[in-house]
Amino acid sequence: MLFIKKNKSDEVCALLRYSVCFLFFLLIIYTKAQTYIDYIGKEQTLYNNAVYDGNNRIYSTNFGKICVTDTNGRIIRNKYIAINGDSSFSWTTQLITKKGVLVLLANKVVTFLDTNLNQISWTANFPSGTFLRSAAEIDNNHVYVAVDNISSFYKIRISDAAEIKNFKLKKSIYVPRSFHVDPKNGDLLMHMGGLWRFDTLGNEKSFLNFYHTFAWFTSDTTFVGGNDIKNTIIEYSITGRQIVNLTIKRFGIVSNLYKPSVVFKTPGGNYLVLNSTEKTSTGGYIYKFSSTGNWLNTIGRPVTVSTNGFNDKILPTPELLSLDKDGNLYVMCGLNNNDLLFGPVGLSRGAISSFTPDFRFRYSFEFTGNIEHFSFFKNQIFVQSDGKFQAYDSNLNAVGSYINSSYCGEFVRDEAENIYFAGHRTNPGYEITNNFVFLKNNKYGTFPQNMGKTGYSISNGEINYATSIARLKNGNFVVADLNQNQVHMLDKDGKHLLFIAGYGGHPENICLPSSITTDQYDNIFISEAGNNRIKILNKDGKLIYNLNVFGPDGEQFNSPSSIVIDTLRSVLYVADRNNSKIRVFKLNYPLKGYLKTNFVNQTNLKIYPNPAKDMILIESNNVIDKYTISDISGRIMLSENLKSESSKIDISMLIAGTYFISIYTNNGLQTQKLIVL
């Protein structure tokens, strides 16, 4: 037998190796109850005005900045345009020529830019008081620029912005936002109550008497007439022959196309329509419709209340969230009062913005008054505002009589359509004779019933300020008491059952509970504005997990307000109020704080590039048995069995969005987020 003498250092190294291996086998790692997907509230362009290059780019301006996007809304470039170092001009995008020259106007200044947004030339050589209205391409080297109200036209050379000539129309008409030059003879075509034709001396040549209040030219021989018929896009030839009469199909609540104004047509036959939706805020986005009238996507940014220096925020201080039956998300932002660090507290006012389950912006619409809460039920929207509970149909018309619900806040419904309002006040004499934690009403608003005990005695189960309420499947209620920093469980008759959480920063405690919701398993989710976290409890009120740090950069909430769960897709939405974002999480069931799993060394697995467009490569130090790629709803889009340490995966068939790729090896399972461009 051969004996080898070991020195002390060898023994220490061996001990360390055995210790590490032992830890790997016995390790119980912390598995999160959720996976951070992304957030809603990224930078978007503002389409106050826009032009389309006829291919895949949209140019729009907002004060001194120009933004370039593709027709799917992806931002390509932002740039401030200056004249002699001055970037304070309020530009309007007026024209993109066939050669890709961009024409911008600002009062009495015109500038020409190339496709890289570099300045070609500019001029301000116009009479005092001139306001430049619109522009049209004459040929590859020249454009006409029209002056507002006085029917004057200037022929400008692009290369040096020199004026070649100017003339006035011999008939006084208001120059429209869009006019066109007939390439055959140089005539000016413009639509004001009919289609006018003028020669280059300003003489009227013809007039086609068919009424549209505007026309937007989609080619040298066609234009779209509109701004008079709801939900309709009508395309004509310049001889007046109707080519297309397209009815836009509804794509959600309050989504009628209302008298479209600016319309572009893509080579594939799709239509790009500058926002014009009945009962919505003006400007801000472009709808994209197919040639058959189906909504494809919305390009641009939501319209929200924006004050107190929050103008750079896409979703300033998001307060209230709701979901419709299709999983579309609705967001209402607050008043941006910096002294109010938590919500919702009845201060949300302005536009509600809608997003698809894959985070695409759809449209915005408006309500007046102070909105305490809103939700969707059977294709109607129910709103608690200024002491009234009112149902509205899909066109925001009030349906039926309202329920008087003064000093009530958030509400939930049961299977019989009874409504339960959380009571915001404890003083007697308001709305009903006695104090109430929540008020039960049938769907007709008759026979209200007070439920729960109000007051300051926590030991007696009294609740002081019920800011949020959720209902479990067994009929019990979970109620947040904002003033006393308590969460309680009550039975179906409002009798106190137990305390779920009390004041403090400990993991078991709570501070400023602002919103409560439940998932399909009756797990309870509570947003804590004071502790900047989301508390997840089981149906018995036992702590599962506190969510407060997430994402690759260790981001944290800043006063989270409203929370909602898409139970079909197992997705949690959090209104991260003071960060001006909607955080989106995939819930991983079963929700357990600690799980015994096989240890996976994440440095052994590489997935790149990420984001990716056509192809990704996966590499591992271990043999990969299988991979799956699923969308955010859990639907498996790609799957393949492997027996190798690396593989190329073709993802070109996946549409742009967020996915999850799961890699199975003999060392365990690892899931990562994958962004497809």
pLDDT, one tens digit per residue, over 31-75 is: 456 787 777 777 666 666 788 988 889 998 877 888 888 887 778
Residue 445, pLDDT > 70, answer no
pLDDT, one tens digit per residue, over 565-623 is: 999 999 999 999 888 889 999 998 888 653 332 333 444 678 889 889 889 999 888 88
Cα→Cα distances 31→600, 651, 671, Å: 12, 28, 12
Question: Cβ distance 44 to 301 under 8 Å?
Answer: yes
pLDDT, one tens digit per residue, over 549-568 is: 666 556 788 889 899 999 99
Sorted by where each starts, the structural domains of the chain and their CATH numbers stand as 50-300 (2.120.10.30), 318-587 (2.120.10.30), 602-677 (2.60.40.1930)
Backbone angles phi, psi at 182, to 5 degrees: -70, 115
The average pLDDT across 417-437 equals: 56
Quick one: three-class SS letters along 545-566?
EEECEECCCCEECCCEEEEEEE
Mean pLDDT score across all residues of the chain? 78
- Cα(269)–Cα(69) distance, rounded to whole angstroms? 19
Helix (H) / strand (E) element for 500: namely strand 496-501
- Cα(647)–Cα(557) distance, rounded to whole angstroms? 38
- Cα(564)–Cα(310) distance, rounded to whole angstroms? 24
Confidence of residue 162 (pLDDT cuts 50, 70, 90): very high
Measure the N-to-C terminal CA separation of the chain; round to a whole number of Å: 65
Question: Residue 280's pLDDT is what?
Answer: 54
Q: What is the CA radius of gyration of the chain?
A: 31
Confidence of residue 329 (pLDDT cuts 50, 70, 90): very high
User: Cis omega (within 30 of 0) on the bond before 448?
Assistant: no
Nearest to 34 by CA among 588, 560, 574, 545: 588
pTM: 0.75
- Cα(182)–Cα(136) distance, rounded to whole angstroms? 10
Backbone angles phi, psi at 636, to 5 degrees: -75, 120
Quick one: three-class SS letters along 228-275?
CCCCEEEEEECCCCEEEEEECCCCCCCCCECCCCCEEECCCCCEEEEC
